[in-house]
Structure 1
């Protein structure tokens, strides 16, 4: 439920006049937020007479309003505003329009993100990327947005959406066995795909395979992986880049010096790829996600991103990628179904061979498997993996 605008404004004005400090701090401080809840409960006993009404006014006053309401549906993953309409997407639901929200409410929502994160959207700074309370927001000011303010919110939740129990919905179980073996063998694995295809969820699943004995340095631009919540018993140094430290700096000056086995970057977007490659050359193991049209395009995408900040020798860079990055994975989403579409193994001669592939058609999936290299099996044996290949599936 949502209260009318006049009720929300009345409550806000009251709080600003009589409890200004608590009201301001409640955007970022959970303790102050609970204090504010008690104030509302006592001050408006008749208006907010039950828990549902109290929760609703809290979301509208110091929460993220309709975004929090929508996110109560666990299927919803993306909430977007294109300048005049709110568009909802998710897993297992059809994309739809929510007609009740206008641009004024979007601007107010963005202001709440600004209050909670200290970052602002202005004509001078017309692009805002930030995150708070399980929501990752991108917004573009009308200075650049032709039809009105645009906003995209990704809902990020603790927990694993792809698990060993439901993995068959994503790929066959023999692929799960391979992924466990690849992680045990300390393979460098890069995951590509479009937005919403399960890249981050697959990365979380792979973290679950890493034992406590192997330290993980985990770096994100926004908190999406919730590694400490999901894996409290693992040895994880968890860092989020902000205005004082970039992903690139965290890789070079923290990740390489914190004695990790693994350095995991939530997503690579630009010049940080160069430092990541340097980390691979020092013997650290990496997994990350990125956008690429397919698994074979990953090396070229990495080259393009590295060149955003460095003057590099293209052939030498690609030599390093093909020699030391072991596997590329591509994920897809069709008709609301997310699936692993292909795994390729990279080789020092700048080629890639298909390890596994599935193509969706009207009858389900057509699947093929390929041979893994002797190099991989040697590394798997080194780390005491008993993986023997795809057996009857391999051809």
Structure 2
């Protein structure tokens, strides 16, 4: 420890000299970076030493199930201050603060990505190996300085995340979907599937979920569109939110679900529970992967079937990606109006084709016309969302599903995103969601639910 102390003290004393002299240094093949790297290595070594002493002092108390999170945090930080106070290494106050914060993040949080998870402006954190971390801010990707100590450190962090919700990731099951306590979506892939080291992707969700007014402020849709969609939800229309990966479907689904009256019984079904509803009567169901023996899996389709026996007023499915589409259509067609779900697709017409494909995945030998009749009867509205070139997420279509004409389902756009406005000097889209001037056929159906829509919402001017 003494040699480490001497080296770190020398590095601390030389830091000012190195900084002043750096203007005269001539970088040759990056050699001028050597002192900084050596000091950083010493810093990491000291951090590891303090970390180990902290673990020795606290021991099994870290895993005491009777301790609350706040009590555990107070205990760790108090002990950490004692250990740091006992250490005689010459460190600046900033370095001591950094060591304390990084160790606290490792024990209480998720290591080097914890500061990014706390940042409310970030929407995604991507770890492409132990020393390669990227973030998404404002729709743009940026590489950051943080890094894990090694692959083992990254694997421990992944295990900490997935174990808290009873899931696992190992060589026999090297991919996992999980969630953080705030609902943020987590995906992890480890070797041998991930060739260059474990991969971790976290799509953050705000602790305070976005409201319709937030999406209006972001430009995702307009005030008139929000009023129309609120009427559709309250009028118990069946709605599908479609779009590509990262287009903001789950956020829009959360906003639409917030329009459901608080006196209704709502059942949410998801792979990883992300929706944040504040109504009084919400039942949350989450699918379960198979255990280590390959048994015990409960998929979305099983949960949709079971939800029909739970006296739901509304069924909200986080994402339909397989044969669960057939059961969802059956639910919509058997009196469970007002259901909402999301589907990956490229547009409203493609959404219908995706549903047909997923119904066929159920293995039922159904003629295509029968499937399309089911879809036309079940689905009322498609809300399609896209992620534009500037990184913004916008609703581009609000489309009515009308009826069958021959062998084709007819669609009618109610609101469409107008791209003709182009982009500003910063490359940000100037387009907007505009009314087509067409009135949907289901207004009479809304009236039967005592929901009335102002006809001026469909006027073409004044958007």
Aligned-partner Cα distance in 2 for 1:165–1:124: 43
> Residue 30 and residue 192 in structure 1: after superposition, are their counterparts in 2 closer, same or farther (change >3 A)?
farther
Task: Write out per-residue CA displacement over residues 339-394 of structure 1, whole angstroms, 9 at most, x where no aligned residue.
Answer: 111111112211211111013322611534142333x1111111122203334228
Classify the secondary structure of the residue corresponding to 1:319: helix
Tell me which residue corresponds to 2:136.
89
Provide TM-score, normalisation by structure 1: 0.86
Tell me which residue corresponds to 1:24.
63
Say whether residues 1:256 and 2:256 are aligned partners.
no
Classify the secondary structure of the residue corresponding to 1:122: coil
Once the two structures are overlaid, the 10-residue window that deviates more, 52-61 or 239-248, is 52-61
Tell me which residue corresponds to 1:341.
396
Query: Is contact 2:126–2:200 with CA below 8 Å preserved after alignment?
Result: yes
Once the two structures are overlaid, the 10-residue window that deviates more, 121-130 or 306-315, is 306-315
Matched ranges for 1:1-395 at <5 A: 5-6=44-45, 9-10=48-49, 13-14=52-53, 17=56, 19-24=58-63, 31-47=67-83, 56-83=102-129, 85-90=132-137, 92=138, 94-102=140-148, 104=151, 105-134=153-182, 135-164=184-213, 166-168=215-217, 169-227=219-277, 231=278, 233-243=279-289, 245-253=298-306, 255-284=307-336, 285-313=338-366, 314-334=368-388, 335-349=390-404, 350-360=409-419, 361-362=422-423, 364-365=430-431, 367-374=434-441, 376-389=442-455, 390-393=457-460
Once the two structures are overlaid, the 10-residue window that deviates more, 320-329 or 270-279, is 270-279
Task: Write out per-residue CA displacement over residues 213-271 of structure 1, whole angstroms, 9 at most, x where no aligned residue.
Answer: 222111121121122xxx1x432112222245332222111x21222211001112222
Classify the secondary structure of the residue corresponding to 2:119: coil
> Residue 69 and residue 164 in structure 1: after superposition, are their counterparts in 2 closer, same or farther (change >3 A)?
same
Query: Is contact 2:50–2:83 with CA below 8 Å preserved after alignment?
Result: no
Query: Is contact 2:215–2:221 with CA below 8 Å preserved after alignment?
Result: no
RMSD of aligned residue pairs (Cα, Å): 2.9
> Residue 391 and residue 355 in structure 1: after superposition, are their counterparts in 2 closer, same or farther (change >3 A)?
closer
> Residue 219 and residue 6 in structure 1: after superposition, are their counterparts in 2 closer, same or farther (change >3 A)?
farther
Aligned-partner Cα distance in 2 for 1:288–1:370: 27
Provide TM-score, normalisation by structure 2: 0.75
Aligned-partner Cα distance in 1 for 2:332–2:365: 16
Q: What's the offset of the Cα at 1:14? A: 4.7
Aligned-partner Cα distance in 1 for 2:84–2:317: 44
Query: Is contact 1:80–1:87 with CA below 8 Å preserved after alignment?
Result: yes
Q: What's the offset of the Cα at 1:133? A: 2.1
> Residue 160 and residue 30 in structure 1: after superposition, are their counterparts in 2 closer, same or farther (change >3 A)?
farther
Q: Is the radius of gyration larger for structure 1 or structure 2?
A: 2
Q: What's the offset of the Cα at 1:43? A: 2.7
Query: Is contact 1:41–1:48 with CA below 8 Å preserved after alignment?
Result: no
Once the two structures are overlaid, the 10-residue window that deviates more, 376-385 or 267-276, is 267-276
Aligned-partner Cα distance in 1 for 2:362–2:105: 41
Once the two structures are overlaid, the 10-residue window that deviates more, 344-353 or 144-153, is 144-153
Aligned-partner Cα distance in 1 for 2:50–2:162: 20
**Structure 1, unaligned stretches of length 5 or more?**
none
Q: What's the offset of the Cα at 1:54? A: 5.9
Aligned-partner Cα distance in 1 for 2:255–2:207: 12
**Structure 2, unaligned stretches of length 5 or more?**
1-41, 86-95, 290-295, 425-429
Query: Is contact 1:355–1:371 with CA below 8 Å preserved after alignment?
Result: yes
> Residue 166 and residue 263 in structure 1: after superposition, are their counterparts in 2 closer, same or farther (change >3 A)?
closer
Q: What's the offset of the Cα at 1:96? A: 0.3
